Amino acid sequence: MKFGIDAGGTLIKIVKEENGERAFSKYLSTEVEKVAELLKEYPDAEVALTGGKATYLQSLIPQNAFQSIEFDATFKGIQTFLQQLNHPLENYIFTNVGTGTSIHHVKGEVQVRAGGTGAGGGMIQGLGFLLTGEADYETLTALAAQGDRDDIDLKVKHIYKGDKTPIPGELTAANFGRVLHTKDTVQYTAADKLAAAIGVVGETVTTVSIHAAREFGAEYVVYIGSSFLHNELLQKVVMNYTVLRGFKPFFIENGEYSGALGTLRLM
């Protein structure tokens, strides 16, 4: 039996392989002791770790685990998934929207980190809590799905008011920038505020990714990370914004397990 484990800032992703079968599971990073207990039940298992909490997890388990650098592991996992999907890419950007966001360029077999932003899943959870007092992830994202950010975000077309716009009128000019224009006539619901928070995260992530894509002449941006789970709104914002800006978004099913799968493949 083999375990590939990506112990991240928020979630621990586990890929278990046995007799050619692959199983995926995840735990909160605060439950790292629980993961260690699970591994103690399989003392003979081969274990490969990665992620910011890998060394701490190693200190809790009996196996002498293989460890790889998170970026190498994630790249290896993405390549493995793309191969299995029959969608090989030669020159692309991948963006891992985890607690924070990390952006990478791939050409052939070479991966380099191209940048990052503090806007990511952690910001959705933290800003979401500040705006609404809601700490439960699935409640938060379900609520956001019902929200509308039209009265909160200022679009280019709002500034130009019917005049010809030099860039697409649907682009956001200022996230949250419409609030002072609408505050006297509009009641913003918790859902609306959350939708706007997800909007600013999605658009920031996309903008930074697209700048990298342009810099490296890449057509595709591959998006992974647990931040897209149960969060169709974030998927939609990122997908539409990537297309609007002239690039091709690509989401990988189970892509949040890229690091876990990749470290297993590198072992």
What value, to the nearest 5°, has the Cα angle with vertex 142 and ends 190 and 144? 40
Smallest gap from residue 32 Cβ to Mg ion (A):
14
**Which residue stretch of 146-154, 183-191, 226-234, 247-255 sits at the interface with ligand ATP (rule: CB under 6 A)?**
226-234
The reply on whether position 225 binds ligand ATP by CB under 6 A is yes
Residue among 61 and 205 whose Cβ is closer to ligand ATP:
205
> Among Mg ion, ligand ATP, none, what does residue 263 contact (CB within 5–8 Å per kind)?
none
Closest among 44, 72, 40 to 57, alpha carbons compared: 40
Closest among 145, 139, 116, 134 to 9, alpha carbons compared: 116
> Per CB under 6 A, which of residues 34..53 are in contact with ligand ATP?
51-52
Whole-number Å distance between alpha carbons of 19 and 1? 8
Residue 154 is classified by DSSP as E
Whole-number Å distance between alpha carbons of 37 and 39? 5
Please say if 232 is a catalytic residue. no
> Per CB under 5 A, which of residues 62..101 are in contact with Mg ion?
98
Whole-number Å distance between alpha carbons of 64 and 178? 55
Residue 4 in contact with residue 17, Cβ under 8 Å?
yes
Tell me the number of residues near ligand ATP by CB under 6 A.
Answer: 19
Q: Which of 70, 138, 215, 219 is catalytic?
A: 70
Residue 223 is classified by DSSP as E
Whole-number Å distance between alpha carbons of 5 and 29? 12
- Name the residue type at position 239: M
Residue among 100 and 178 whose Cβ is closer to ligand ATP:
100
Residue among 188 and 228 whose Cβ is closer to Mg ion:
228
The reply on whether position 255 binds Mg ion by CB under 5 A is no
The reply on whether position 199 binds ligand ATP by CB under 6 A is no
> Among Mg ion, ligand ATP, none, what does residue 124 contact (CB within 5–8 Å per kind)?
ligand ATP
Chain positions contacting ligand ATP, by CB under 6 A: 8-11, 51-52, 98-100, 121-122, 124-125, 137, 225-227, 229, 256
